[in-house]
A and B are shown apart, each in its own frame.
Chain A
């Protein structure tokens, strides 16, 4: 591993006509990192990936791979390989021919092809499939062929464009694990495009969250989830309750906001705020607790909101409770079902009075 970043984007812009698909994006991806580009569809993540691969050229800014500028390098001369969302396996070639293709293009001598193809297929556990045609294989197997076809070239960076998107839930989980394992084994940089936040959180070393062509936040999965710096990230990753208001006080990384319906709420501020600024309090449903009024009296926590239970959904691992704060506002609270019981009284009932409590370090005050 070297100190030069594997990928650098400097102020990259991609315009299609008047629309900005990618809007002034700068990123650095370290050597050997598993880096995800996460965002809703149309956010520019795939275009960003395609500019790294060389299928699109930036309208402005530059792309560097291991410190080398790529402006004049067509895709076939770049030291990166791509796993496509649709796999893009060549239908007229066997699995072995698909995997050998990149090596042949590089002019690897014939006698080396066989062993290297075999090794690549073994790595993705497809040994013995070399004479199959892509269409004779399942989605998961095609996915592995696509991986082998890219990895056999020993690229400096592997680009993966929603590679698990077409697989069913169970296979997806398996492949997530498999991809992590492969990355450890080959030790090269992975850039992984996905719209699935859970997938990004599970697999990545770092994540860049994108929306409308812009990178909103770059950070580790915990940073992204626990300390989102803006409302979009908090909303897109996981679920959360938002309460809008104005900052009335702040000190030492905490701020208090007054909501429009007069509540005073306190939370952590990931970014500096000033009094009077518009702000949103983000409260993750699993970070709040629901107590009976009796229990609440003995608890010392800053948030104490008197609520009425409105809707209770039992979903197995959790119980999801919607509580009504006042005529305008409801909040969601998730309780983990740590006890196994059929006793109805162990769960909340609609209509019950309750108190929602939450320590300020579990809530976030976000300013735009």
Chain B
């Protein structure tokens, strides 16, 4: 008889292949972390363990300033994007209305749009708007953290909406009917039933928005003004010049932060 279960060699081969792909995905990350502790001042050779680069990092006012800016933009854009995205998710999951497809489409575009297109578009738009304001009022505006934040919100909304919608999809509408049946009005239903149950999705979406904002560098590069440097842009400007263990160190910290946030986001969404 021919054994029709997946052949042993086939599943073995698949397993080895998968292990190689995972190695490929994680090799650079591991290398980066290791070489943030090397004494080698070019950051590419292992010449002994040191924490010097991390210490130097924290004593570098420019990098620390950029880090603070990044956090400010991250928190601000996350708050706004989470609020707007959650509202949109509720509208799209709870109502049938004309133009729903168009709203859906507009929401998905920022996810698939190459970031550089969005970045130059926002740059052009802000330039035009600033010229207009200058012509009308005489005020001279410059790109700063606010313009970056606006841009980050514009792409984060979509991601928040997707995540919150997923949690609304699993939501059993009969729970709301049950609450109404037990005497709750729509306000009470929302705050006592709906919101607590979609909260994991909202938190997940917020953490994602925060991660995206921290990691983004293209929009930040185009929209931040002079003197308002952001961490990813700072890193970009340095890595274009040379590898240094200092960048290894700051990159390691950024990676750690993102991974922590993703893990938190996943945990938040899994708890039901």
Answer yes or no: do A and B interact.
Answer: yes
Whether a CB of chain B sits under 8 angstroms from the CB of A91 is yes
Q: Mark B179-200, 1 if CB is under 8 A from A, else 0.
A: 1111111001000110011000
Q: B81 → chain A, closest Cβ, in Å?
A: 25
**Size band of the B side of the interface?**
10 to 19
> Given A54-B180, A76-B180 in contact, is the A90-B175 Cβ separation under 8 Å?
yes
A residues 123-155 near B (Cβ < 8 Å) are 149-150, 153
User: Which of these, A53, A82, A105, A149, contacts B188 with CB under 8 Å?
Assistant: A105
A105 touches B177 (CB 8 A): no
Residues of B within 8 A of A153 (CB): 182-183
A-B contact count (CB 8 A): 63
- Known contacts A88-B172, A91-B197; is A74 also within 8 Å of B183 by CB? no
Q: Chain A, 197-241, contact with B by CB distance < 8 Å: what is the 0/1 string?
A: 000000000000000000000000000000000000000000000
Q: Is B272 an interface residue (CB 8 A)?
A: yes
Give the chain B neighbours of A101 by CB distance below 8 A: 179, 182, 184, 192
In the complex, what residues of B have CB within 8 A of residue A82's CB? 177-178, 181
Asked if B8 is an interface residue, CB under 8 A from chain A, the answer is no
Task: Determine if A92 is an interface residue (Cβ-Cβ < 8 Å).
Answer: yes
Contact yes or no, A84 B182, CB < 8 A: no
Answer yes or no: A344 CB below 8 A from chain B CBs. Answer: no
Interface contact A84-B174, CB-CB below 8 Å: yes
A352 to chain B, nearest CB (A): 48
Which of B172, B182, B184 gathers the greatest number of chain A CB atoms within 10 Å? B182
A8 to B197, CA, bound (A): 37
CB distance from B148 to the nearest CB of A (A): 37
> With an 8 A cutoff between CB atoms, is A183 at the interface?
no
**Which residues 100-124 of A have a CB within 8 angstroms of B?**
101-102, 105-106
Contact B172 A105 (CB under 8 A): no
Across the interface, do B172 and A76 meet the contact criterion of CB distance under 8 Å? no
- A76 with B184: CB separation less than 8 A: yes
Main secondary structure of the interface of A (DSSP, over half): mixed
Could you tell me if B180 and A74 are in contact, using CB atoms closer than 8 angstroms? yes
Nearest CB of B to A339, in Å: 51
Interface centre among A55, A77, A150 (most CB of B within 10 A): A55
Given contacts A86-B172, A91-B197, A92-B197, are A102 and B183 in contact (CB under 8 A)? yes
Question: Which listed residue, B180, B185, B197, touches A55 by the CB 8 Å rule?
Answer: B180
Chain A residues with CB under 8 Å of B183's CB are 76-77, 102, 105-106, 153
Q: Which of these, A76, A86, A106, A150, contacts B174 with CB under 8 Å?
A: A86
Most buried by A among B177, B181, B188, B196: B181
Q: Which residue of A lies closest to B176 (CB)?
A: A88
Shortest Cβ gap from A297 to chain B (Å): 63
* A75 adjacent to B196 (CB under 8 Å): no
| Distance of A352 Cα from B197 Cα, bound (Å) | 67
**A246 on interface, CB distance cutoff 8 Å:** no
Asked whether A81 lies within 8 Å of B179 as measured between CB atoms, the reply is no
Known: A84-B174, A86-B174, A105-B188. A92 touches B182 (CB 8 A): no
Give the distance in Å from the alpha carbon of A76 to the alpha carbon of B184 in the complex: 6
**B188: A residues at CB distance < 8 A:** 105
Residue of B nearest to A146 (CB): B178
Residues of B contacting A54 with CB < 8 Å? 180-181
Which of A53, A74, A92, A149 is within 8 Å of B196, CB to CB?
A92
Q: A75 contacts which of B172, B177, B193, B272 (Cβ < 8 Å)? A: B177
Q: Check if A76 sits within 8 Å of B178, measured CB to CB.
A: no
Within 8 A of A (CB), among B136-193: 172, 174-175, 177-185, 188, 192-193
- Asked whether, in the complex, the Cβ of A53 is within 8 Å of the Cβ of B181, the reply is yes
Residues of B near any A CB (own CB < 8 A)? 172, 174-175, 177-185, 188, 192-193, 196-197, 272
Binding site for B on A (CB under 8 A): 53-55, 74-77, 80-82, 84, 86, 88-92, 101-102, 105-106, 149-150, 153
Q: What are some 18 contacts across the A-B interface (CB < 8 A)?
A: A53-B177, A53-B181, A55-B177, A75-B180, A76-B179, A76-B181, A76-B184, A81-B182, A82-B181, A86-B174, A88-B174, A88-B175, A88-B178, A89-B178, A90-B179, A101-B184, A101-B192, A102-B183
Q: Which 8 pairs between the two chains have the least Cβ-Cβ distance?
A: A102-B182, A105-B183, A88-B178, A75-B180, A88-B174, A82-B181, A76-B180, A105-B184
Beyond contacts A82-B178, A89-B178, A150-B182: 10 other A-B pairs, Cβ-Cβ < 8 A, are: A55-B177, A81-B181, A81-B182, A82-B177, A84-B174, A91-B175, A102-B182, A105-B182, A105-B188, A153-B183
